[in-house]
Amino acid sequence: MTAAPRRGSALRRLWTSEDARRGFACVVGGLVLAVMTGPEGSSTAPTSGFTGSLFHARVIGFIVFGLVLWGLITVRRRYATQVRAFSDKVTAAPRRLLPDKRVRAVVYLAVLAFAIAYPATLNSFWQEVLVDQIGVYVLLAIGLNVVVGYAGLLDLGYIAFFAIGAYSAAYWTGALPIHPPFHLNPFYAIPLAIIAAMLAGVVLGAPTLRLRGDYLAIVTLGFGEIIQIVATNLQGVTGGAQGVIGIPHFSIHLLGIHYDWGINSLPYYYLLLGFVVLVLFGFHFLENSRVGRAWVAIREDEVAAESSGINVLKYKVMAFAIGASTSGFAGMLEASKISFVEPADLTVQLSILILVLVIFGGMGSLPGAVVGAAVLQWLPQYLRVHPLLGFQQQDIYIYLGALLVVMMIFRPEGIIPSRRRKREIGLAEHGVGHADALSGQSGPVA
């Protein structure tokens, strides 16, 4: 007499089956997406947002989306080899060509030509976006990429250097309550802003970079907060909460060159573009130099690096200072363009945003930082003009937060990963090394 199979076991098998769990996760993800893009609730009707998103016809679309996603993932796993073969075939040509230096040079030149020509054809809204939302943030991402990507240091207060650049602009043009020894047009104050930011990097870094990675993150976070509070409170120095107005635009009257920047965004864009191109060259050479390799060594194994003659603290501070420099320039540029600075803009949230840009693009990858920042900054603006699915500007951090979690789980190396970083992460997942300067105690052990 055979025993009847227990009904519980079938259910249990379903629950523990990996496919079913993935399906469940996908559908839940779809529902979360529905809530994210759904209507708002309010304090008097706290469930209205949820009911509006979920008890509504549109939720079916999201459930379907979840199921389709599940289907795609399952198919990809089942037919992994065929999928790999197909993608190899499709990417064969680019993969063969790209490593070639000449091919890359041509590609970069084409991109540069596009970057020079295209913006002139845009309307003024998009030109403004190009500078204020995209260009500045690309520069910030490139700088933070040096700190987080090259040296592996988590700085959560990066916006502080931007603030220093901006307030430098205010200071040297005499817009602050405290006056400089002589007034300068902000254009000539650019190097001063950069130096100020770098000095701040050294001053902040020297005492704190001895700390372990997670502690460093918190300290930089606290420091970012402090900077904002100080800027708000020190009425007599920074103009207080209402900020500083009346910062003049750039202008050059030197050696026969006469140019005044006005409120038109395009000239700022070209100035920014020029600086970005210079920085890209410089940082690319830096990455492949003795300094860049020292950073890699520190990231891989700080103890071994130190024992091999690398002054770990010096290189960490150097990364901080170099990373700060682009931020200082960006701050100076923005302050001069919009003619004012206010502390309320210098939030920790912005520091986190820049971090998201770097991570999304690919930590340690220069093209990644540029593309990641450009894409993530462009997208919300695009959706504002062409609304999709109920996206709201004020909800942007919901999406960014979710993006961070998803990226860390599925693609921690970013969209355009640096080869080395990808290798490090792959090794870490197999138990070799830790892929970053955060792990392990700094004890010598064996």
Span 380-409, contacts to other proteins by CB under 8 A: 394-395, 397-398, 400-405, 407-409
Q: Binder to other proteins among 144, 193, 286, 369 (CB under 8 A)? A: 286
Asked if residue 233 binds other proteins (CB under 8 A), the reply is yes
Query: Dihedrals φ, ψ of 257, to 5°?
Result: -95, 125
CB of 183 to other proteins, least distance (A): 30
Asked if residue 312 binds other proteins (CB under 8 A), the reply is yes
Q: Pick the closest to residue 339 from 251, 233, 270 (CA basis).
A: 251
Q: Binder to other proteins among 74, 133, 251, 439 (CB under 8 A)? A: 439
Q: Which residues contact 95 (CB under 8 A, 6 or more apart)?
A: none
Asked if residue 434 binds other proteins (CB under 8 A), the reply is yes
The residue (of 6 and 430) whose beta carbon lies closer to other proteins is 430
Quick one: which H or E segment has residue 244? strand 244-245
Asked if residue 151 binds other proteins (CB under 8 A), the reply is no
Asked if residue 300 binds other proteins (CB under 8 A), the reply is yes
CB of 291 to other proteins, least distance (A): 5
Q: Which long-range contacts (CB under 8 A, 24 or more apart) does 201-208 make?
A: 201/161, 201/317, 201/320, 201/321, 201/322, 201/323, 201/324, 201/325, 202/317, 202/320, 202/321, 204/160, 204/320, 205/316, 205/317, 205/320, 205/321, 206/313, 206/317
Among 16-24, 35-43, 120-128, 370-378, the segment contacting other proteins (CB under 8 A): 35-43
Instruction: State the Cα–Cα distance between residues 224 and 191, nearest whole angstrom.
Output: 23
Calculated CA dihedral for residues 344, 348, 353, 356, nearest 10 degrees: 180
CB of 94 to other proteins, least distance (A): 23
Instruction: State the Cα–Cα distance between residues 258 and 404, nearest whole angstrom.
Output: 46
For 368-399, b/e burial (b = at least 16 CB within 10 A) is: bbbbbbbebbbebbebeeeeeeebbeeeeeeb
Binding positions for other proteins, 200-229, rule CB under 8 A:
207-208, 211-215, 217-219, 221-223, 225-226, 229
Asked if residue 292 binds other proteins (CB under 8 A), the reply is yes
Q: Binder to other proteins among 175, 271, 272, 435 (CB under 8 A)? A: 435
Q: Pick the closest to residue 424 from 79, 149, 33, 110 (CA basis).
A: 149
CB of 230 to other proteins, least distance (A): 7
Among 75-83, 104-112, 113-121, 295-303, the segment contacting other proteins (CB under 8 A): 295-303
Asked if residue 194 binds other proteins (CB under 8 A), the reply is no
Binding mask 100-139 for other proteins (x = CB under 8 A): ----------------------------------------
Q: Binder to other proteins among 152, 165, 267, 367 (CB under 8 A)? A: 152
Binding positions for other proteins, 244-283, rule CB under 8 A:
281-283
- The answer to whether 153 and 315 have CB atoms below 8 angstroms apart is no
